Chains A and B, each alone.
Chain A
Amino acid sequence: MPTPQISAVSIQKSYRKGDLTVPVLKGVHANANKGEFLSIIGQSGSGKSTLLHLMGLLDSPDVGEIQLDGQRVDNLPSKTRDELRNRVFGFIFQFYHLLPELTLQENVLTPLMIRHPIWTYWPRRKHYRELALEIIEQVGLSHRLNHKPSELSGGEMQRAAIARALIAQPEILLADEPTGNLDSETGKEIMDLLHRLNDEQQLTIIMVTHDENVAASAHRTIRLAEGQMEMVENAA
């Protein structure tokens, strides 16, 4: 069995609410191979979002390890983890999380702007803008380039968020309830888009959802309940 591209090993995580310590994850394993579409499903509060955040290095586990290609990464210095987040992961959120001050194109360019300081970004800004155009075209939003997020519909915003996640050419796409805030029609469009990316670019996708139907389209599903893994299902 090959080394999984990303794996979470016996993760424990608890949050503090005042004096109370609330355990969220109680020893969870999860891994995904290159090109795999993994979905994590569970009720609200089951810890599925926390697991995704931990795998995306947005947070550190109390116990356990996050490994990328077999290398432990969760204990790296924060600068390095910031760098990994920028280069390796692409994030999609339930509430799109676009920056309201920026236009769609600027929003899509954010990861590159974050990666490059002004003196290396500026000389290549044309190239980057073309790259952004290309990706925006892929998600079908080229007519909306200079609109602010507040002028976009939910589906458009989510597609913009996907474009933003893709521009950094990540190895792993982490999606937190990407369809949770959309009607079923637009949700399906988004899912189609994700599948296409998974198929065409062999992009590893880890998606958190509470929707059984959405989860079912993944290659593999991890079911979480109260911070523990219930079962792993392989798609037919």
Chain B
Amino acid sequence: MYKFLLSTRYLRTRFIALASIISVMLGVATMIVVNSVMAGFSVEMKDRLHGILADVIISTASMNGVADADRWMEMIEKIGGDDIEGMTTSVEVYGMMTFKFANEPITRPVTLVGIEPRGKSSVGPLKEYLLGYDKEKGTRDPKSDPNWELSAEAKEYRKNWVFRSSWEDTADPDWSEYNQTSSGPETVDSEQPDFTDSEPAGDLPDTPNFAESPSPAVTPPDELVNPFLNQDSPQEEVDPTAPLRGRAYVGHGLISYQMTDPKDGKVIDRLMVRPGDDIQLSTVNAAMPPAPVSLGVTVVDILKTGMSEYDSNLIYCNLDYLQEVRGMVHPGTNVRDFTTIQIKLKDYSNAPELVKKLKAAFPPETFVVQTWEDKQGPLLAAVEMESAILNVLLFLIIAVAGFGILAIFYMIVVEKTRDIGIMKALGASASGIMSIFLSYGLALGMVGSGVGVALGLLFVNYINEIETGLSWLTGRPVFNEEIYYFSEIPTMVSPWMVFWVALGAITIAILASILPARRAARLHPVKSLRYE
């Protein structure tokens, strides 16, 4: 009984104990906040990493691909059975993208992925990442499925610039462009307010040399050439404003740049290419030795996944066109080659099982079977390691609090030497004395971590408000949206994490009180009574 009474009484009367409670509390609160934010970030990031990747990806070792997707997909269907929700084929190849901006050709390395929008949507989100479907700025019908058609606005825009560029063509191209930047009233300049976002790029009539790249093996060169000269479809000849056969969703990072608004100092994104513009893509065909091929495509939409890795690298284009250009269509049979099959599962937890089975079925020298996590392994591992290291460091903070408790308790034991002697004289056993200090430690740990948990959860709950407040106080943003792609700080509180943090803190508090408690228990009653 006295143990309980005394440890609570000590808790209430020792202000120094408040210090250790506060240190435990701060440690616990910090750990909860950091862990929640880290978890929020990593969930968000996983989401985005997963974003454009299907659950399971079967890709060919060679970029030239393998024929007959249907047969392989049938096989997958047989193996996967009910687990499979959707499947689609695609062609992935490296390439370059060139467009004209401010009269300079700009070239970027890209990963060119030929997709079929409906199939792609069936294995993962696609619509969500297209700016045309953006909730605020999107111009497309939110109910429509992603397709390769230009939106009405893009068509209008395209009409305007095709008309204009044909007018420009009458002059000497080099000089007229040079002059236009400084004088001409109808000129196209990125800094002109009329064309707020971009200048039309892919001035194709000026750049016939793009298309002249030799690709004798598969594609007739004229198909790659400027589509205004294309004889394939009579309609295009008639209407120069019609889009090219090649269509693309272009990664946002590839065609935008950031600048600071001189008026309010905010960082803003400016597009160099907008839907309706044409860009030039170059890659290699699927022959041996590979020959360069070039294709002009019309930008249909802009892809913004929020992962800069994807946004500054990816171009989706129409699969059938890419296959034709790369010579992946077998003449006669019309069987098409593919490089990847993307599979969406009904329940992702079955993925390892399925991957194992697929690995057995698909010849490993030709195919690589992976889950999306395998594919993003290093990045995910890095995130995981980061949070593990952070946790170790933060737990050290609580350990420091533990040493604080140790020191404070030692002091209290010394201060209470006489009282301990009295209690022993009155019949208290050594273990009883020890348990006073242990339960004192327990109480400190519990109060500290209890308040810490409350504080931490409160902080996490209002983290964005706190961020706003801090930004206002310091006059500069604490959390830069431009860096993280998140409009607000993502958090995720896991009850287990809270439980373990609190338990860990309490354990440390008890551990730290063991040493002083043992010292107290071993005090000799006579010696401690003499102390006066």
Q: Contact residues of A with B, CB < 8 Å?
A: 50, 53, 56, 58-59, 78-79, 82-87, 91, 93, 95, 97-102, 106, 110-118, 121-122, 164, 168
Q: Which residue of B is nearest A83, CB measured?
A: B427
Q: Is the CB of B1 within 8 A of A58?
A: no
Q: Is the CB of A110 within 8 A of B425?
A: no
- Smallest Cβ distance from B138 to chain A, in angstroms? 67
Q: Is the C-beta of B430 less than 8 angstroms from some C-beta in chain A?
A: yes
Q: How far is the CA of A223 from the CA of B334 in the complex (A)?
A: 124
Q: How far is the CA of A199 from the CA of B150 in the complex (A)?
A: 113
Chain B 403-421 near chain A by CB (<8 Å), digits 1 or 0: 0000000000000001101
- Which chain A positions have C-beta within 8 A of B2? 110, 113-114
- Which chain A positions have C-beta within 8 A of B9? 101-102
8 Å CB contact of A58 from B5, B10, B425, B432 = B425
Chain B 1-37 near chain A by CB (<8 Å), digits 1 or 0: 1111110011001000000000000000000000000
Q: Is the CB of B429 within 8 A of A115?
A: no
Q: Is the C-beta of B194 less than 8 angstroms from some C-beta in chain A?
A: no
Known interface pairs A56-B425, A100-B419, A117-B1; A93-B430 also in contact (CB < 8 Å): no
8 Å CB contact of A114 from B10, B428, B526, B532 = B428
Q: Is the CB of A106 within 8 A of B5?
A: yes
Q: Is the C-beta of B473 less than 8 angstroms from some C-beta in chain A?
A: no
- Which chain B positions have C-beta within 8 A of A83? 427
- Which chain A positions have C-beta within 8 A of B430? 78
8 Å CB contact of A101 from B3, B4, B10, B425 = B10
Q: Which residue of B is nearest A120, CB measured?
A: B1
- Smallest Cβ distance from A114 to chain B, in angstroms? 5
| 13 additional A-B residue pairs with CB within 8 Å, beyond A99-B6, A101-B13, A113-B5 | A58-B526, A59-B524, A78-B429, A82-B429, A85-B425, A93-B422, A97-B421, A111-B426, A114-B1, A114-B428, A118-B4, A121-B1, A168-B427
- Which chain A positions have C-beta within 8 A of B5? 102, 106, 113
Number of A-B contacts (CB under 8 A): 78
Q: How far is the CA of A111 from the CA of B384 in the complex (A)?
A: 56
- Smallest Cβ distance from A155 to chain B, in angstroms? 18
Q: Is the CB of A99 within 8 A of B1?
A: no
Q: Is the C-beta of B529 less than 8 angstroms from some C-beta in chain A?
A: yes
- Which chain B positions have C-beta within 8 A of A78? 429-430
Q: Chain B interface secondary structure, helix, strand, loop or mixed?
A: helix
Q: Is the C-beta of B525 less than 8 angstroms from some C-beta in chain A?
A: yes
Q: Is the CB of B423 within 8 A of A93?
A: no
Q: How far is the CA of A84 from the CA of B426 in the complex (A)?
A: 10
B interface residues, tally (CB under 8 Å): 27
Q: Which residue of A is nearest B532, CB measured?
A: A95
Q: Is the CB of A86 within 8 A of B526?
A: no
Q: Is the CB of B532 within 8 A of A58?
A: no
Q: How far is the CA of A58 from the CA of B422 in the complex (A)?
A: 10
For A91, A95, A100, A101, which residue has the most chain B Cβ atoms within 10 angstroms?
A: A101
- Which chain B positions have C-beta within 8 A of A56? 425
- Which chain B positions have C-beta within 8 A of A122? 1
What are 6 of the A-B contact pairs (CB < 8 Å)?
Answer: A59-B525, A79-B429, A82-B427, A112-B1, A114-B428, A122-B1
8 Å CB contact of A53 from B4, B429, B526 = B526
- Which chain B positions have C-beta within 8 A of A95? 532
Q: How far is the CA of A207 from the CA of B123 in the complex (A)?
A: 93
- Which chain A positions have C-beta within 8 A of B532? 95
Within 8 A of A (CB), among B507-532: 524-526, 529, 532
Q: How far is the CA of A110 from the CA of B436 in the complex (A)?
A: 14
Q: How far is the CA of A100 from the CA of B6 in the complex (A)?
A: 11
For A56, A114, A115, A122, which residue has the most chain B Cβ atoms within 10 angstroms?
A: A114
Q: Is the C-beta of B344 less than 8 angstroms from some C-beta in chain A?
A: no
Q: Is the C-beta of B424 less than 8 angstroms from some C-beta in chain A?
A: yes
- Which chain A positions have C-beta within 8 A of B423? 99, 110, 114
- Smallest Cβ distance from A14 to chain B, in angstroms? 13
- Smallest Cβ distance from B191 to chain A, in angstroms? 77
- Smallest Cβ distance from A12 to chain B, in angstroms? 16
Known interface pairs A58-B526, A117-B1; A110-B10 also in contact (CB < 8 Å): no
Known interface pairs A101-B13, A114-B432; A58-B426 also in contact (CB < 8 Å): no
8 Å CB contact of B427 from A87, A98, A102, A121 = A87
